[in-house]
């Protein structure tokens, strides 16, 4: 069975881009009360026009707003579009991010203190602006996946008074996503990406041990999290294409987990009712392509072979060879290529320059043209 494309596109993007100085400076001025919310939005509008034009200029057929109106990939939905959820403190120890060289960064921990309800978000308004801005590309917006709230908070940070039974929490969360997706659809959204930042981490023994210590079995969570994803997808409006990006953490070039997809791949590909997966494969930390053998013939994988975490540009021949390696397991028609994650899932972004970012996107586009035509 052939896989329909467009979307996904042969050359794809995950979502976020390095924030220009104008955005960072205007955010600082807004916090200090020097400019109004209207002034800030006008500056964001102008910079989004530029980043959309940039994406189209390098040959991408899909474009996002760079997540320029967000401080983190999850901000505009989880803490602004939902009631009952706040980011209260930061995680340490096994939950920190690492750069592999001894540097660490703390992880935010969501706290669920009241009923989870959709409170409306700015995403539909933001998408409408993106939709009106693109000229040749298909607009895409991202939402955080549902699993990370529980993954990071655990039972201890989800109120037992409000949710004595977690089934009710998951049900309320799914209902909130359904409302958000309908709002986005009404604004013209036909391509939505869920950023799933938990499932890929369950293959890391360090993470498994940390989950066990707090009373969670990672094997149970595979089922709980894939159930949650399916519950959300079930409420998507007809005609909305939903993709899922899998990530092991991306914060200023740091990551939270290591390990391949082996332990979750079969449930991920065969159970989850999503047809497109954008997956990290940029380093040995992500394992090999063998788990792709579980991919059904009507689904596609976007190979994240170009790193958004480091400035060094990948060797073209080596990336081409890796595409061929994956194609020995999955038919080439079921594959696409992208950077492995966004370039700035949070501010200040990963340790690259705007020139590095451009060079990596140009490599992705030119390889896609070379391999698939």
| DSSP SS3 for 367 | helix
Give domain status of residue 19, yes or no: no
Give domain status of residue 98, yes or no: yes
Is 143 or 254 the better-scoring residue by pLDDT?
A: 143
Give this prediction's pTM: 0.93
Is 369 or 344 the better-scoring residue by pLDDT?
A: 369
Using alpha carbons, list the distances in angstroms from residue 78 to 82, 179, 287, 330: 6, 13, 30, 35
Q: Which residue has the tokens 């100085």?
A: 21
Mean pLDDT in residue range 332-357? 92
Mean pLDDT in residue range 65-83? 89
Give domain status of residue 240, yes or no: yes
For residue 134, the model assigns a pLDDT of 98
Give domain status of residue 342, yes or no: yes
Find the helix or strand (DSSP H, E) in which 116 lies. strand 107-118
Our count of domains for the chain comes to 1
Radius of gyration of the chain measured on its C-alpha atoms? 19
Q: Where residue 286 falls among pLDDT bands split at 50, 70, 90? A: confident
Give domain status of residue 261, yes or no: yes
Give domain status of residue 357, yes or no: yes
Residue 252 has pLDDT above 60, yes or no: no
Q: Where are the alpha helices (DSSP H) in 241-295?
A: 265-270
Which pair of structure tokens corresponds to residue 41? 């939005």
Q: Which residues does 63 contact at the CB level (< 8 Å), separation at least 6?
A: 13, 52, 55, 56, 130, 134, 137, 138, 139, 140
Q: Can you give the residue range of the structural domain that contains 105?
A: 55-372
Is 246 or 256 the better-scoring residue by pLDDT?
A: 246
Residue 95 has pLDDT above 70, yes or no: no
Find the helix or strand (DSSP H, E) in which 105 lies. strand 104-105
- As a whole number, the mean pLDDT across the chain is 92
Q: Where residue 94 falls among pLDDT bands split at 50, 70, 90? A: low
Which pair of structure tokens corresponds to residue 277? 């997966």
Of the listed ranges 91-100, 289-298, 311-320, the least confidently predicted one is 91-100
Of the listed ranges 86-100, 151-165, 311-325, 346-360, the least confidently predicted one is 86-100
Residue 208 has pLDDT above 60, yes or no: yes
Q: Where residue 345 falls among pLDDT bands split at 50, 70, 90? A: confident
Instruction: Tell me the pLDDT tens digit for each residue of 141-163.
Output: 999 999 999 998 999 999 999 99
For residue 253, the model assigns a pLDDT of 56
Is 104 or 141 the better-scoring residue by pLDDT?
A: 141
Which CATH number fits the domain that encloses residue 102? 3.20.20.210
Give domain status of residue 17, yes or no: no
Q: How far apart are CA 65 and CA 134, in angstroms?
A: 10
Give domain status of residue 40, yes or no: no
For residue 350, the model assigns a pLDDT of 82
In the chain, pLDDT over 90 holds for what percent of residues?
Answer: 79
């Amino acid at each position: 069975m052939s896989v329909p494309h467009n979307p996904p596109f042969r050359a794809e993007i995950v979502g976020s881009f390095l924030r220009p100085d104008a955005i960072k400076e205007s955010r600082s001025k807004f916090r200090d009360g020097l400019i109004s919310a209207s002034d800030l939005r006008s500056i964001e509008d102008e910079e989004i026009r530029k980043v959309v034009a940039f994406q189209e200029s390098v040959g991408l057929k899909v474009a996002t707003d760079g997540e320029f109106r967000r401080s983190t990939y999850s901000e505009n939905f989880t803490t602004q579009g939902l009631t009952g959820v706040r980011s209260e403190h930061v995680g340490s120890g096994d939950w920190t991010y690492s750069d592999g060289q001894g540097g660490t960064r703390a992880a935010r921990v969501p706290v669920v203190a009241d009923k989870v309800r959709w409170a409306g978000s700015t995403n539909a308004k933001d998408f409408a602006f993106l939709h009106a801005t693109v000229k040749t590309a298909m607009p895409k917006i991202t939402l955080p996946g549902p699993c990370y709230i529980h993954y990071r908070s655990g039972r201890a940070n989800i109120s037992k008074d409000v949710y004595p039974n977690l089934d009710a929490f998951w049900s309320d969360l799914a209902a909130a996503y359904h409302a958000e997706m309908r709002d986005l659809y009404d604004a013209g959204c036909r391509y939505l990406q869920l950023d799933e930042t938990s499932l890929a981490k369950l293959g890391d023994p360090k993470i498994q041990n940390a989950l066990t210590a707090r009373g969670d079995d990672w094997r149970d969570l595979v089922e709980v999290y894939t159930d949650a994803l399916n519950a959300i997808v079930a409420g998507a409006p007809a005609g909305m294409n939903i993709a899922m990006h899998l990530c092991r953490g991306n914060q200023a070039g740091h990551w939270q987990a290591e390990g391949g997809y082996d332990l979750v791949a079969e449930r991920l590909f065969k159970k989850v009712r999503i047809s497109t997966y954008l997956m990290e494969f940029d380093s040995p930390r992500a394992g090999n392509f063998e788990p792709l053998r579980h991919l059904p013939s009507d689904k596609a994988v976007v190979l994240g072979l170009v790193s958004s975490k480091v400035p060094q540009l990948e060797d073209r021949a080596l990336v081409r060879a890796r595409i061929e390696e994956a194609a020995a397991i999955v038919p080439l028609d079921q594959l696409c290529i992208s950077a492995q994650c966004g370039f700035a899932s949070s501010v200040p972004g990963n340790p690259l320059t705007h020139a590095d970012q451009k060079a990596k996107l140009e490599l992705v586009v030119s390889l896609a043209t070379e391999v698939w035509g």
